[in-house]
């Protein structure tokens, strides 16, 4: 009897979830709504298609339905809106559309923060001002130097584990992501803090991976996640505790110092628990690494797959960093690395599925540049899928997935490469974008100068296939991805060091 009752409940719930979008369309539709595309799967909607190949799936809908259409995903309405000019000139300026509520939900669900702090507009303005003050100019140069020094230290420590004339085998993505974790952490929290983490157990990198996993589970609102993934959330707490009692004036960056003082100030300390403060500081590392680390690895992969690109970057480094006395992290030197920067932009273009999001705060209508209208219901998530532009054959040639290392190098008598959107847009454009690009440049330059690397599981056919399209993991909605499942071993490498001065 109980089994029959349970079956009836499940069937009724599935039926309700399946019919809910249709019922909503019947009773709550507003004028000028885009085409709604119904899925036959309750709750998940088109989740499977999005996990498998979001770019290909959304592109197929764009070809079939035009620039605007609606899908359901995890019981939310997602309005895809491929109209860049209208998005930049009207959507971003509309008071009816905002990203703030969406970001608050991400922080509450992903990091477990209290909504009270996140809803305080005064403190959010102070934090935004801190980002724009401490991630540019002389502060940026200090961060660059710290990243460089940390990467050199990681290489030297690693080099000591390799005997004379021997090579070491690792996974490229794990290896250099760990390097970048320590480099980013040293940039923000200082050398003493990083030295402590290098010598602590559990392993700092493994705890960071668990922190990221727990955050993603929260953002996706996986049911019973704290029970099903108990150890993951326990490890997240361990990672957060590493940041809960920071010692000030211990080599931390001015940004971290200012944040810590703000969180513990008499005016605002009532808003924060010790967990909140630790999570907010730990999140700085997560935000700094979730895209920078995997993108750095894809830049290296692309250079190894394209010898002509690697040689061009080597030549550029020889011209601009002729000796060890030339400081790689110097802003003038980094600015001269135009070919390397083009390689970075091209690697980002052909991998990450960039999009910009705004939420309708009320029923509203957007009048587009072409005079068409788009109706949005309160709560609708409006998505500008920049990745459609990044793979548009009309802009990037008949084979847009293929790699062209000098695509973004300005050439005389040739049209400028189409604009791209990697770091968001409007007031919420990533304030750390300059540091992110500099970190990647420094890592790649040091790898080229001091390492010999070779893929050990990648056949010539694999290389030919990856030159056409990388096996990129598009399931990482929150961050840039590495290789998709089943392809990780293809990126195992053997390597050795050179000209590093390991003693």
Query: 166 and 277 share a domain?
Result: yes
Q: Average of pLDDT values for 49-60?
A: 87
User: Is there a domain that residue 222 lies in?
Assistant: no
pLDDT category of residue 480 using cuts at 50, 70 and 90: confident
**What's the number of domains the chain is made of?**
2
Query: 281 and 415 share a domain?
Result: yes
Q: Average of pLDDT values for 484-500?
A: 94
Query: 148 and 169 share a domain?
Result: yes
User: Is there a domain that residue 213 lies in?
Assistant: no
Query: 172 and 72 share a domain?
Result: no
Q: Average of pLDDT values for 388-413?
A: 91
- Of 46-55, 121-130, 384-393, the least confident: 46-55
User: Is there a domain that residue 211 lies in?
Assistant: no
Its pTM surpasses 0.75: yes
pLDDT category of residue 19 using cuts at 50, 70 and 90: low
Q: What are the φ/ψ torsions at residue 229 (nearest 5 degrees)?
A: -120, 50
User: Is there a domain that residue 503 lies in?
Assistant: no
pLDDT category of residue 435 using cuts at 50, 70 and 90: very high
Query: 272 and 333 share a domain?
Result: yes
pLDDT confidence of residue 7 = 66
Q: Average of pLDDT values for 468-484?
A: 87
Let me know: does 233 contact 110? Beta carbons within 8 Å. no
Greater model confidence, 439 or 425: 439
Known binder of ligand: residue 297? no
β-strands 68-73, 76-81: how paired?
A: antiparallel
pLDDT confidence of residue 205 = 97
Percentage of residues in the chain having pLDDT higher than 70: 92
- The per-residue pLDDT for range 125-174, each reduced to its tens digit, is 999 999 999 999 999 999 999 999 999 999 999 999 987 768 889 999 99
User: Is there a domain that residue 464 lies in?
Assistant: yes
The overall average pLDDT reported for the chain is 91
Query: 341 and 324 share a domain?
Result: yes
Q: In what order do the strands lie in the sheet with 168-171?
A: 168-171, 492-497, 451-455
pLDDT confidence of residue 357 = 94
pLDDT confidence of residue 220 = 79
- The per-residue pLDDT for range 249-307, each reduced to its tens digit, is 899 999 999 999 999 999 999 999 999 999 999 999 999 999 999 999 999 999 999 99
Let me know: does 33 contact 21? Beta carbons within 8 Å. no
User: Is there a domain that residue 225 lies in?
Assistant: no
Query: 74 and 196 share a domain?
Result: no
Q: Average of pLDDT values for 338-354?
A: 95
pLDDT category of residue 8 using cuts at 50, 70 and 90: low
Query: 332 and 469 share a domain?
Result: yes
pLDDT category of residue 9 using cuts at 50, 70 and 90: low
User: Is there a domain that residue 390 lies in?
Assistant: no
Q: Closest Cα to residue 301, out of 418, 444, 430?
A: 444
Burial (Cβ within 10 Å: 0-12, 13-18, ≥19) of residue 310: middle
Query: 265 and 378 share a domain?
Result: no
> Nearest 10 degrees: CA dihedral of 444, 445, 451, 454?
40
| CATH number, domain containing residue 409 | 1.10.630.10
Query: 20 and 88 share a domain?
Result: yes
- Residue 107, classed as helix, strand or coil, is helix
- The per-residue pLDDT for range 210-228, each reduced to its tens digit, is 999 999 899 878 889 999 9
Q: Average of pLDDT values for 324-340?
A: 89
- How far apart are the C-alpha atoms of 433 and 456, rounded to whole Å? 33
Greater model confidence, 392 or 74: 392
Residue 477: both structure tokens together:
């909605």
Query: 40 and 189 share a domain?
Result: no
Whether the pLDDT of residue 17 is over 60: the answer is: no
In terms of residue numbers, what domain contains 35?
2-112+356-384
pLDDT confidence of residue 73 = 80
pLDDT category of residue 475 using cuts at 50, 70 and 90: confident
pLDDT confidence of residue 133 = 97
Query: 288 and 337 share a domain?
Result: yes
User: Is there a domain that residue 335 lies in?
Assistant: yes
**Other beta carbons less than 10 A from residue 80's beta carbon:** 22
């Amino acid at each position: 009897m109980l089994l029959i009752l349970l079956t009836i409940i499940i069937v009724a719930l599935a039926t309700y979830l399946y019919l809910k979008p249709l019922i909503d369309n019947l009773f709550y539709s507003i004028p000028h709504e885009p085409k709604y595309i119904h899925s036959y799967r309750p709750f998940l909607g088109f989740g499977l298609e999005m996990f498998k190949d979001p770019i290909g799936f959304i592109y197929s809908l764009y070809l079939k339905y035009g620039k605007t259409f609606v899908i359901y995903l995890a019981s939310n309405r997602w309005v895809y809106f491929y109209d860049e000019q209208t998005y930049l000139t009207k959507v971003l300026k509309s008071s009816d559309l905002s990203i703030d509520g969406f970001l608050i939900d991400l922080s509450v669900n992903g990091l477990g923060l209290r909504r009270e702090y996140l809803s305080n507009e005064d403190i959010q303005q102070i934090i935004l001002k801190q980002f724009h003050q401490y991630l540019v100019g002389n502060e940026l140069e200090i961060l660059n130097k710290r990243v460089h020094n940390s990467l050199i230290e990681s290489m030297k420590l690693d080099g000591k584990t390799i005997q004379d004339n021997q090579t070491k085998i690792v996974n490229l993505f794990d290896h250099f992501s760990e390097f970048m974790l320590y480099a980013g952490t040293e940039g923000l929290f200082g050398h003493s803090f990083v030295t402590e983490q290098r010598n602590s157990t559990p392993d700092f990198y493994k705890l960071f991976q668990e922190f990221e996993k727990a955050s993603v589970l929260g953002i996706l609102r996986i049911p019973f996640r704290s029970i099903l993934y108990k150890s993951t959330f326990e490890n997240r707490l361990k990672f957060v505790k590493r940041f809960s009692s920071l010692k000030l004036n211990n080599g931390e960056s001015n940004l971290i110092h200012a944040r810590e003082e703000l969180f513990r100030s008499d005016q605002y300390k009532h808003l924060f628990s010790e967990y909140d403060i630790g999570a907010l500081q730990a999140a700085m590392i997560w935000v700094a690494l979730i895209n920078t680390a995997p993108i750095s690895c894809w830049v290296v992969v692309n250079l190894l797959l394209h010898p002509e690109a690697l040689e061009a970057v080597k030549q550029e480094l020889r011209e601009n960093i002729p000796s060890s006395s030339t400081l790689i992290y110097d802003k003038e030197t980094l600015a001269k690395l135009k070919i390397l920067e083009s390689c970075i932009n091209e690697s980002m273009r052909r991998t990450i599925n960039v999009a910009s999001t705004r939420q309708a705060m009320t029923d509203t209508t957007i009048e587009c540049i072409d005079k068409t209208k788009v109706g949005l219901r309160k709560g609708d998530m409006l998505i500008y899928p920049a990745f459609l532009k990044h793979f548009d054959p009309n802009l990037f040639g008949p084979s847009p997935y293929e790699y062209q290392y000098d695509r973004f190098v300005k050439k005389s008598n040739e049209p400028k490469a189409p604009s791209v959107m990697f770091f968001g847009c409007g007031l919420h454009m990533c304030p750390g974008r300059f540091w992110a690009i500099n970190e990647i440049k420094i890592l790649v330059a040091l790898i080229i100068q001091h390492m010999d690397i070779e893929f050990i599981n990648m056949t010539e056919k694999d290389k030919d296939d990856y030159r056409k399209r990388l096996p990129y993991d598009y399931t990482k909605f929150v961050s840039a991805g590495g290789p998709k499942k089943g392809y990780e071993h293809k990126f195992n490498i053997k390597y050795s060091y050179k000209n590093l001065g390991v003693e």
